[in-house]
Amino acid sequence: MPNRDLFDIELVPAIGSRFQPTGFPDIGAALFQRPGDDGWVDCLLVESAQSMANRLEGVGWDDANLAPVPVLDGLPYVRVVAGDDGRYLTSSRTDAHRLASAFVKDSVLEGTDMRTVIRERLGLRDDTPLAPRDIARAIFALDPMCLIHGVFFAESAKVWPGQPRIPRAVTSFIEAIDVRPAVSGGVKRDDVRHTVAGTGGATEGYGFVPFHRTEWVARQIVASFNIDLDQLASYGLSADAVALLATVARWEVRALVDAGLRLRTACDLVPAAPGEVDRHLPPLITLEADVRRLARACATELAVGGPVDVVWSAKKSKKADKAEE
């Protein structure tokens, strides 16, 4: 049997009964049907797997201080700073593609470009099969969160032979079952200009502008979580390192749910039963203590406790250089 943490947590709106789901360009809300006891049931994707991955990662980052939250502070990651004044720009914890971010790979570490650093640390060679265990070990020492949330080194094979890829080990999404639309509307008022005669109209933001709004109600809202323990074990790391990754993943889920899922202005969800989360996960304080204990046990494998600073400098394109001539 696959070894995974699989569980659902039922949610309800924090206030009222309406909620605003994810909206996608051109299609709006993601409606689908699933079989029920009496036929097919209208359902709705409230939050996608991509968005939930971002939210799970987000609980580990302190936006106010531009740094990891204290419980993850001892784990390595790549921090990108500006070449002119050393100010923080982004990091492998926050930028798209993580360690394979454009800002990371276009940076320099102690005089060596990061493309070369990553290639050498991952042991990538032409005419040589990829060594998954060595790759996982190198990623673990650079940013272990990439082994939880995935990374794809998609640069040219000349730069990163084999283009190694780590899929997500944690998947989550939120669905609403048996849904109905709640249609409403409103108007943007203009108490200064009572007509749009002359210059400036609704396009410029003047005048009274009516609008419609569609929210939804549902018989049930469910957040689903899958922590793939088999994948974490497949990296070939030490038992403590595998336990650390699994515990961090569980901590992210618990921290996200405990904080309340305020996904959007009109979508604030909380567990339907306060004790429901306890059936699936230890208390947050226990998980935090376990993360710190396991991080200490993995000190040798983690190599660096904290950020690895790399320097990024803006590069002008040839087109921009010609425009200045």
Within 10 Å of residue 220's Cβ, how many Cβ atoms? 15
> What amino acid is encoded at 121 in this protein?
R
Structure confidence at residue 61 as a pLDDT band (50, 70, 90): very high
Mean pLDDT of all residues in 22-49: 90
In this predicted structure, the answer to whether residue 323 has a pLDDT above a threshold of 50 is no
Structure confidence at residue 301 as a pLDDT band (50, 70, 90): confident
- pTM value is 0.89
In this predicted structure, the answer to whether residue 220 has a pLDDT above a threshold of 60 is yes
pLDDT, position 275: 87
Mean pLDDT of all residues in 277-281: 94
Mean pLDDT of all residues in 200-227: 85
Mean pLDDT of all residues in 132-140: 93
Cα–Cα dist 263/63, whole Å:
17
pLDDT, position 304: 67
Domain range list for the chain: 4-180+217-314
DSSP labels, 96-161: TTGGG-HHHHTSEETTEEHHHHHHHHHT--TTS---HHHHHHHHHHH-TTHHHH-EE--S-TTTST
pLDDT digits (tens, 9 = 90+) for 2-11: 899 999 999 9
pLDDT digits (tens, 9 = 90+) for 70-114: 999 989 999 999 998 999 999 999 998 999 999 999 999 999 999
pLDDT cut 70: percent of the chain above it = 94
Cα–Cα dist 219/177, whole Å:
6
- Lowest-confidence range among 33-37, 175-179, 223-227? 33-37
In this predicted structure, the answer to whether residue 298 has a pLDDT above a threshold of 80 is yes
Structure-block tokens of residue 281: 């996960």
> What amino acid is encoded at 210 in this protein?
P
pLDDT, position 53: 95
pLDDT digits (tens, 9 = 90+) for 143-195: 999 999 999 998 888 888 889 999 999 999 999 999 999 998 777 777 777 66
In this predicted structure, the answer to whether residue 316 has a pLDDT above a threshold of 80 is no
Q: Would the CA dihedral through 188, 189, 193, 196 be positive or negative?
A: positive
pLDDT, position 320: 45
